[in-house]
Structure 1
């Protein structure tokens, strides 16, 4: 489909006393950012909406028309302008990037506040511990969904199902304790245990069995593919456990 020369579009969208279609608002914004003048036509009742759908043989609203040609809904309009469209089931690393990005910024921010510089070892420690906490939080939003996806590849969970429920709590607890540099006798073994089991499980599923699975690392509804990200999460936990364990032993020896 090629873009028309006209810069005028007609949009039919639901605008009712108790409901304004969010996709209609996004459609208006997209058209205006593309330089279109919009003839904004409201469907004010359910009856009007159903009559419109029946007349144009469409299943949903809003709908856009350009030069008398129906373009379709919001995703269709994005495609018309050559923009990316997220399809159901498409893999995405966005949740992981967001979590690690925010964790890094938090670590740097606290380092700046405490030490007046971002270039500290503690900033990296906070980055890892905050990452663990944020990842655990994603899993804890729907523990049942997470544990079900986790069963697809985790070796221990497949043998002891309750481990899928325990895991996010253990990851979160280890992250919080490490952020506070408290109780290494608990945080270090936890981090090493879940990190090692996780790394072995992911490596076997992805690199030995060659299975294509979704990762439960950011919760049970994610479309993050199981692989490098999942393995990295577990290796980071192992590394953090070893580092914090070494620091604890150093403090004890002093």
Structure 2
């Protein structure tokens, strides 16, 4: 069956009957004021996996409501494969790619550190003409900025996760809200190599407390927690990544303070 795009009003075949072999049936909204992005993604995913798409479009809101009532579903798009309703885009993604939204992953941290490293290299080559110890310093300070911004993106979720293990935040809740601002501020000042008497002690303070908190929670208390290092809602496990983040800050702060004292 060739790929088709038809209005729902022009379709009479049952989706379970039409969805056979490598033909998938997709119902999605294409209203005058709303082209459903999840429906577009579902169509693209099906095509990328070799399916021919029997693409059925809702052109009016009344058609959407009638479809939901008839099939007892809360949302659209809806997909049928091999005569069976799969569900919406998230369910389709799980079925075709094995994606697990609850699975542990280090991907957000890898991407963040990769961007910080690439930026540090660009700064070093562009301004210094070579890789130096400053490259490492920029990598750490830029990582601090990016990590802090991830925390500030949803500070309520971050603070909830942070309070699970940070020793100072559990004693004084406002510290959880202050922490990402200090991390970003210290990172900005360290990147610009200015106000070291302010930035280095601040970074040393929060990183020392952070390192001790993570070490106690993970390696002494043996607690299995999610890391708040890349903000709330992540599936990055607490442990090596967060400890590394804090140790990098500690190391850079100590080096800067020693350099200041010379």
Distance apart, 1:5 and its partner CA: 7.7
Name the CA distance, whole Å, in 1 between partners of 2:123 and 2:219: 38
> Is residue 157 of structure 1 aligned with residue 184 of structure 2?
no
Name the CA distance, whole Å, in 2 between partners of 1:84 and 1:170: 39
Residue 80 of structure 2, aligned match among 49, 65, 89:
65
Distance apart, 1:13 and its partner CA: 0.7
Alignment correspondent of 1:238:
250
Number of residue pairs matched?
244
Alignment correspondent of 1:249:
261
Distance apart, 1:67 and its partner CA: 4.7
Alignment correspondent of 1:84:
98
- Report if the CA contact (8 A) 2:20-2:83 is conserved: no
Cα 1:155/1:23, change in 2 over 3 Å: same
Alignment correspondent of 1:105:
118
Name the CA distance, whole Å, in 2 between partners of 1:161 and 1:9: 51
> Is residue 147 of structure 1 aligned with residue 164 of structure 2?
no
Scaled by the length of structure 1, the TM-score of the pair is 0.88
- Kindly report which structure 2 residues correspond to 1:153-232, keeping only aligned pairs within 5 A, or say none: 153-232=165-244
Cα 1:219/1:122, change in 2 over 3 Å: same
Report Cα offsets for 1:78-108 as digits up to 9, x if no partner.
3443x12232x44332222222111111100
SS at match of 1:221: coil
Name the CA distance, whole Å, in 1 between partners of 2:156 and 2:168: 16
Stretches of structure 2 that go unaligned for 5 or more consecutive residues are 1-18
Scaled by the length of structure 2, the TM-score of the pair is 0.85
SS at match of 2:134: helix
Stretches of structure 1 that go unaligned for 5 or more consecutive residues are none
Distance apart, 1:235 and its partner CA: 0.7
Name the CA distance, whole Å, in 1 between partners of 2:183 and 2:92: 42
What is the RMSD computed on CA atoms of the aligned residues?
2.0
Cα 1:163/1:105, change in 2 over 3 Å: same
> Is residue 132 of structure 1 aligned with residue 147 of structure 2?
no
Report Cα offsets for 1:11-58 as digits up to 9, x if no partner.
111111222221110111112112222221111223212222232333
Name the CA distance, whole Å, in 2 between partners of 1:136 and 1:242: 20
Alignment correspondent of 1:38:
53
